[in-house]
Amino acid sequence: MNDFARALEEKIGSGQARVGTVGLGYVGLPLSVEFASAGLPVTGFDLSPEKVAAVNRGQSYIKDVTSARVGELVAQNLLRATTDFGELAGCDAVIICVPTPLGKTKDPDLTMVVDATRQIGERLRAGQLVILESTTYPGTTQELILPLLSGRGLTVGESFFLAFSPERVDPGNAKYGTRNTPKIIGGMTPACTRMALALYAKAIDTVIPVSSPQTAEMVKLLENTFRSVNIGLVNEMALMCERLGVDVWEVIDAAASKPFGFMPFYPGPGLGGHCIPIDPLYLSWKLKTLNYRARFIELAGEINSAMPEHVVARAARALNDREKSVKGSRILVLGVTYKRDVDDVRESPALDILRLFEARGARIAYHDPNVPELQWNATTLRSEDLMPAVRSADMVVIVTDHTAYDYQAIVDAAAFVLDTRNATRGIRAANIVKI
């Protein structure tokens, strides 16, 4: 171990290493809080003056992190935020936690990762550790990040250290948070892995090294591809069961009684969130560059992305059975977030469902206890008062099964309910249909 590695490891061990987190969103803020809670001084970097100001006054805008915790760390001078990327030079470790969306052509858009890396690269000094957490395709750390950091005469693994550690954030998960979710580490060299392990071990309960950044990048994609493919399978099972006149939810519950060889997944109105609808496409894109077609990924994506259309078509058939058309009907969507009990609408299937209903001439409305308003084209949709909206709707469509809802009361008050999540499990009523 050379002098740079020894000095960094000693700083980390003594709690004197300053950590910088680039991006203060769903990944960056919780991670910053954990490092600060472990006694390491943390500076969060973000382009949003609003986020920076909120952190500096001790206010959290992330549901999984309390303002009380942020405020305590700010008061102890362990956590602060800034828009001044010049301060990156003073950090001993810098972790990139920025979004990695898809472009319009479904290709990876690493613009924010590249911009963050360039900001770091312009100030990179000997002895610094840089870690990418943003989800991306295998090879990104070595093929994209390393060249952007190698322009100042420093050598990776000797005078600076580089690793990839995939974020594993599950918003709204009451059991697993940043600290107790195992962390995967893949360094460019053994020394890089050692430095990253030393850092994360201060704030994360379990840290697991792998042989390379590319392996770590592939781990995250396998995790979310596994979920996407299995959800695609069970969504197709729901389509088949509907045609066969079989209750797919009963089938899954019965199959789940098998104590081996089966893991239950559940159908729904489509995939949402920043990870599962997007991450498998990063892998598919990468494999296309190697003249390989990821057929499972593409087929699962095709099935999952078609579910909002299936929901609207199912609603149309159900209304037609009651001698109503979608056009002119008042449709109330319950829940617009991508999963229950969060306030995140990124990639939510509810947005597609609302658009499809509107395109068919329906009078759309929504209620969500966590989303008071939605930007809708050039206007704003506002969450309506729940029970009056339920009573006035021709159809209530349960898209997100928030635990705050009293589903018995909703069914009792509604003219018609389309349940896409089996939220009305155990309620027997003639006005319920399911996907």
pLDDT in tens, 258-279: 999 999 999 999 988 777 788 8
Q: What is the pLDDT of residue 282?
A: 86
Exposure string over 313-337, b if 16+ CB within 10 A, otherwise e: ebbbebbeeeebebeebebbbbbbb
Q: Do both 173 and 270 map to the same domain?
A: no
Q: What pTM did the predictor assign?
A: 0.92
Q: Residue 241 belongs to what domain range?
A: 228-434
Asked whether residue 62 is assigned to any structural domain, the reply reads: yes
Residue 273 per-residue DSSP state: S
Q: Do both 168 and 298 map to the same domain?
A: no
Residue-wise pLDDT tens digits, 119-128: 999 999 999 9
Confidence of residue 108 (pLDDT cuts 50, 70, 90): confident
Asked whether residue 223 is assigned to any structural domain, the reply reads: no
Task: Pick the range with the lowest mean pLDDT from 80-89, 143-152, 352-361, 405-414.
Answer: 143-152
Asked whether residue 425 is assigned to any structural domain, the reply reads: yes
For 346, the token pair is 């990124």
Asked whether residue 219 is assigned to any structural domain, the reply reads: no
Provide the domain count of the chain: 2
Confidence of residue 152 (pLDDT cuts 50, 70, 90): confident
For 124, the token pair is 């990179």
Which residue in the list 97, 192, 241, 275 is annotated as catalytic?
275
Q: Is the pLDDT of residue 411 over 80?
A: yes
Residues shown for the chain:
435
Q: What is the pLDDT of residue 279?
A: 84
Asked whether residue 220 is assigned to any structural domain, the reply reads: no
SS3 of residue 29 by DSSP: helix
Q: Do both 143 and 265 map to the same domain?
A: no
Q: Do both 286 and 417 map to the same domain?
A: yes
CATH code where residue 183 lies: 3.40.50.720
Q: Is the pLDDT of residue 18 over 90?
A: yes
Residue-wise pLDDT tens digits, 328-380: 999 999 999 999 999 999 889 999 999 999 999 999 999 999 999 999 988 99
CA 343 vs. chain centroid, Å, equals: 12
Q: Do both 311 and 338 map to the same domain?
A: yes
Q: Do both 236 and 201 map to the same domain?
A: no
Q: Do both 183 and 286 map to the same domain?
A: no
Q: Do both 64 and 112 map to the same domain?
A: yes
Q: Do both 414 and 269 map to the same domain?
A: yes
Q: Is the pLDDT of residue 106 over 90?
A: no
Distance CA 95, CA 203 (A): 13
SS3 of residue 275 by DSSP: coil
For 351, the token pair is 């947005």
**Nearest CA-CA partner of 344 in 402, 298, 279, 304:** 402
Q: What is the pLDDT of residue 275?
A: 76
Task: Verify whether residue 91 is a known catalytic residue.
Answer: no
338-to-6, 107, 249, 311, 351 alpha-carbon distances in Å: 45, 22, 20, 15, 9
Q: Is the pLDDT of residue 104 over 90?
A: no
For 424-432, the CB contacts below 8 A with 24+ separation are 424/398, 425/249
Q: Is the pLDDT of residue 383 over 90?
A: yes
Ranges assigned E (strand) in 289-410: 330-334, 363-367, 373-376, 379-382, 395-398
Higher pLDDT, 271 or 241: 241
Residue-wise pLDDT tens digits, 162-202: 999 999 988 888 899 999 999 999 999 999 999 999 999 99
Asked whether residue 397 is assigned to any structural domain, the reply reads: yes
Could you identify the residue written with the tokens 């997007």? Answer: 278
Distance CA 55, CA 71 (A): 8
187 DSSP β-pair partners: 163
Q: What is the pLDDT of residue 103?
A: 75
Confidence of residue 234 (pLDDT cuts 50, 70, 90): very high
Residue at 226: amino acid letter: F
Q: What is the pLDDT of residue 153?
A: 86
Q: Are strands 42-45 and 19-22 parallel, antiparallel or unpaired?
A: parallel
Contact 220, 169 (CB under 8 A): no
Distance CA 110, CA 403 (A): 36
Task: Pick the range with the lowest mean pLDDT from 48-52, 198-202, 282-286.
Answer: 282-286
Q: Do both 200 and 250 map to the same domain?
A: no
For 7, the token pair is 């000095």
- Give the largest CA-CA distance in the chain: 79
Contact 400, 368 (CB under 8 A): yes
Distance CA 125, CA 319 (A): 65
Q: Do both 299 and 400 map to the same domain?
A: yes
The mean predicted confidence, pLDDT, of the chain is 95
Asked whether residue 154 is assigned to any structural domain, the reply reads: yes
Backbone angles phi, psi at 305, to 5 degrees: -70, -20
Asked whether residue 217 is assigned to any structural domain, the reply reads: no
Choose one of 177, 211, 245: the last residue of a domain. Answer: 211
Q: Do both 281 and 165 map to the same domain?
A: no
